[in-house]
A and B are shown apart, each in its own frame.
Chain A
């Protein structure tokens, strides 16, 4: 492990009976970066996070956090990390301040230092005015912020966030993403899991894409996009369902892939300007009429599709 590596995962495996939740993955997270694990539900992201957080013992392989092994030095690993679980894990009958104070004590903080840090975190997550309110009475967004605040109390070197924006409103989501960037600017290393490719694209220095327990791609956003050769996705809407249109489009020069998903039809092309007129012509030959077009530049969705043959949101 090099001196500027925060997390190193080597040939990590975890099986639950016949299910290979994590099946031999390797990656490194460098100090001070935001590293995203992207994948559909059931890809193995949370199992990976759980092994890095010392919640699960790997069947084989090794995890080093700040140079400490999760097997032999779990207490040092736990002291170095702050974990934001996917599900909100708060004591709803305690106030925001009581929650933070309790969790601070679990990290070994006490006295004036703890009180000062609780005040700082309350300020950071925007809950100072609600510090005395029981967290059970908070809105979903406020609970999410408190859920994150708990993980920041002890100034962890590594912050592990497991899908922290699931099920919240866009405003709270924006606030959380801004917060993650702010933490990263202050020097924290962030390991972030998500199944929203936009979040991974927006936040990450490096992205690892997981599927069925395997790491299928790893790199920067630009490196991953290059995997699909800069292909553009065109989503098309027809006036009526017409199964004949897919094979017709597949015959068009410049179209590399055609697929239907959730009632939408999509084609992957190298040059949208050149191909688009021919798509209209092909539709006409099978009596289909195009009523809507949405052109999307290459993104991680396309990468996932390219690598697995499935859309990321299919799971």
Chain B
């Protein structure tokens, strides 16, 4: 009863503070809203989504192929070389809402189309593109020439091209290893044999060439149906996690402010125990973070059409985040002696760890940077929360979210026991 009274009192005070409300709800929504406006997104009737303007890509496919290049499957007649595969992928239905592909006869006219602003991007596939894919020593250079005023679409096209090339580079590396092993065994495959081997590896590893690049989206939606909503999801998810931890620390800070205002000492003159006071405050902080996250995620869904994933995954993420944000708040505040030290803890303890933890929200489209950021983020609790949120958004199921939830639980237990121990010693 007393514990719940303390919880209710603390929550009432939190939700009456304009400053706290602004940080809990205003700032995350504002930041996401700014991105929304920046990219000209609009929401219409139910199901309407953000759209990026289609980018015109003019392709100069100069690939001369290779006599050893042969494709099997439905599109085999159309796909004579690797250049064909790349252009086929770019002009496929999956990217139709993002990219409109036209063709030019040579590199010069492709670049000229960009200069005349008839296209945003020129993609020049060199004559030795296929040979570079299947000959061990050959190297080719794909050229992307784009309108300098464009910011987002060149990055998207570049990522798509890189992924396609990366997929073909695997078999080429495998070829090198096989050739070396054959030479070590006294066999010397000639160029024709090597290219034939390369084609077999490409066929084995990629299956149908049209599936060199696949994009995924949650809940079985068409992968590129709402790319800006997915990007906004990462940003708002990051903001939600970042400010959830702020709320955790700010709410836990009431222990310090009550101590400075004398109400904590007064509480200890009433027949209430220290664990009851700390328990009430812990519960209030946790519930405040819980309310904050639920409101933000619901707003994200309703205002920005963000799909957070299935309910059980989202619920587990919210619960884990509330636990770890609260415990981390109690831990951080337990390190302080006075309210004046709060800036240090918020600046170093929360802002830096928060930025590290949600960094992946801003590198979602860049494969290399994203994987580094993902790994680095797991050094801080915010990273685990962000990873859980992303696993849910990717539609990977409860099994994918569970490890991150357990990670958050582990952080919580450590923070909770250190924090409570320090406070108990202080008030004993």
Contacts and interface: CB of A to CB of B under 8 A. Distances in A.
B84 to A, nearest CB: 69
Nearest to A160: B269
Contacts of A81: 269
B343 interface: no
| Best-surrounded residue of A75, A93, A106, A150 (most CB of chain B within 10 A) | A106
B158 interface: no
B117 interface: no
Contacts of A110: 1
B269 A78 contact: yes
A109 to B, nearest CB: 10
A89 B270 contact: no
Given A87-B262, A89-B262, A94-B9, A106 B267 contact: yes
B17 A93 contact: yes
Contacts of B273: 75
B127 to A, nearest CB: 74
Nearest to B428: A57
Contacts of B105: none
A106 B263 contact: no
A102 B5 contact: yes
Contact of B263 (A90, A105, A107): A90
Interface string A204-217: 00000000000000
B269 A55 contact: yes
Contact of B261 (A53, A83, A89, A150): A89
A65 B17 CA distance: 40
Given A85-B262, A89-B265, A106 B13 contact: no
A5 to B, nearest CB: 21
Contacts of B262: 85, 87-89
A103 B16 CA distance: 19
A94 B1 contact: no
A83 B263 CA distance: 12
B109 to A, nearest CB: 70
Contact of A91 (B13, B265, B271): B13
B272 interface: yes
Contacts of A105: 1-2, 5
Contacts of A142: none
Nearest to B14: A93
A103 B270 contact: yes
A236 interface: no
Interface of B: 1-2, 5, 9, 12-13, 16-17, 261-263, 265-273
28 contacts: A53-B269, A54-B268, A55-B265, A55-B269, A75-B273, A81-B269, A83-B266, A83-B269, A85-B266, A87-B261, A87-B262, A89-B265, A90-B263, A93-B12, A93-B16, A94-B9, A94-B12, A98-B12, A103-B266, A103-B270, A105-B2, A105-B5, A106-B2, A106-B271, A106-B272, A108-B2, A110-B1, A150-B266
